[in-house]
Amino acid sequence: MSIFDRVTERSGGNAEKYALRQKLFGTEDVLPMWVADMDIETPLCVRTAVMKRAEHPVYGYEEMPRSAFEAQCAWMAARHGVTMAPEELFFSHSVVASISAAIAAFTEPGDEVVVQPPIYPPFVSTVRHSGRRVLSNPLRQDEEGIYRFDLEGLEKQITPKTKLLLLCSPHNPVGRVWERAELEALAAICLRHGITVFADEIHSDLIFAGHKHTPFVALGDAVRAMTMTALGPGKTFNVAGLAVSTVAITDTAMRTRFKAVYDTIHFAQGTVFGHAGFEAAYREGAAWLEALLVHLQGNVDRLADLAGRFDTIAFRPPEGTYLAWLDCRQMGFDSDKALREFFIREARLGLSPGISFGREGSGFMRLNFAVPTPTMDEALNRLEGALQRL
């Protein structure tokens, strides 16, 4: 049996996706497909490395080994054509923590930070909690329903206080893998106005056939000198629980400025198990990832087939990530609360409500399809039955 066909029981432990069902949905009777981790087994190479490290009888403080950073640099060069050096990388336990540090390093209280909703909620909350102003530059859908940057709108909104832009690439939740020309146009605006860019590229390995991820730093030396990039194996290899990622900063002055804040927060160097899993994933996980992408594409195709049989729900397959952005605006519900209740009570699915990603997500729901085949079967059956009854 393939690991992609095998269901691993997670509900008996502290898995966030399952443990919070009652709190979030008011019932345990939902199939949880919300938080962005997988219900698919972590690669064997990662588990083997972690277990081997666990055999050592001392779990004390350790530095992130240079060999781990070297493994990520080699991965970035081979998979994305980007050259990075270990000296340019900072350990971080989470992308959100990295965003917080970047805001503190490159803006002042009262400055503006650009976000592009609908967007992963911490992009907005972290800015607000930092005492900065959110400059909202919503994405726009073209005539084909494809989300695009609103660059004209961005130019009109920028003020002398606009200091930082948070780029989500690939985009969570809409699933866009930005084309190079789109990124170049965005970069030109940031260069023209002296705006620093934090590029969250944590989903950059989860790209479907026909699309190509372009790292923001690949757009040239000038862009590289104004950009910091969040990277990591958490989404790619389902190791979010190891709490390990990196921030890559090429420019020396930027790196010094970031480090001044980084040191005050005391990120430390993570866990001994995180180090082991991180390095093993990048050194040995490529074949597993290719098999995963085939499986995820199959789940996308089946979800698209189901949506295509109903005129009440629209679904444009994502270009990247394992997150489906379901357009439910034709279902006839008069509120996002009613839409959410439909999925909980009728479909018995625990999804992320689109409105949580900003008002631009009203009428949408986000579904995490990184699940084994039997789980996807059950989810599709539940959703089909609910849509038929509707």
CATH superfamily, region 3-43+286-389 = Aspartate Aminotransferase, domain 1 (3.90.1150.10)
CATH class of this structure's domain 47-284: alpha beta
Cα–Cα distance, 263 to 269 (Å, whole number): 11
Express each pLDDT in 99-140 by its tens digit: 999 999 999 999 999 999 999 999 999 999 999 999 999 999
pLDDT of 84 reads 97
Q: Output DSSP code: residue 318.
A: P
Indicate the Cα dihedral angle 81, 208, 139, 236, nearest 10°.
-70
pLDDT score of 83 more than 90? yes
pLDDT of 190 reads 98
In terms of DSSP H, where are the helices of the chain? 16-19, 21-25, 44-54, 66-80, 95-106, 122-129, 151-157, 180-193, 221-224, 252-265, 272-284, 286-308, 336-341, 373-389
pLDDT score of 371 more than 90? yes
Indicate the Cα dihedral angle 57, 61, 62, 64, nearest 10°.
130
Phi-psi region of 348 (alpha: psi -120 to 50; beta: other; left: phi over 0): left
pTM recorded for the entire structure: 0.97
Closest by Cα among 266, 302, 264, 319 to 380? 302
pLDDT of 354 reads 98
Q: Which residues contact 192 (CB under 8 A, 6 or more apart)?
A: none
Cα–Cα distance, 246 to 86 (Å, whole number): 10
pLDDT of 126 reads 98
**Residue whose structure tokens are 């340019």:** 88
Express each pLDDT in 162-207 by its tens digit: 999 999 999 999 999 999 999 999 999 999 999 999 999 999 999 9
CATH 3.90.1150.10 in the chain: give the residue spans. 3-43+286-389
pLDDT score of 75 more than 90? yes
Q: Give the mean pLDDT of 312-337.
A: 97
Closest by Cα among 40, 47, 93 to 284? 47
**Residue whose structure tokens are 């950009």:** 227
Local confidence band at 69 (pLDDT 50, 70, 90 cut-offs): very high
Q: How many of the other CB atoms lie within 10 Å of CB of 87?
A: 11
Residue 67 near residue 214 (C-beta atoms within 8 A): no
Local confidence band at 13 (pLDDT 50, 70, 90 cut-offs): confident
pLDDT of 183 reads 98
Local confidence band at 12 (pLDDT 50, 70, 90 cut-offs): confident
Q: Give the mean pLDDT of 361-375.
A: 98
pLDDT of 1 reads 79
Q: How many of the other CB atoms lie within 10 Å of CB of 233?
A: 30
Looking at every residue in the chain, the average pLDDT score rounds to 97
CATH 3.40.640.10 in the chain: give the residue spans. 47-284
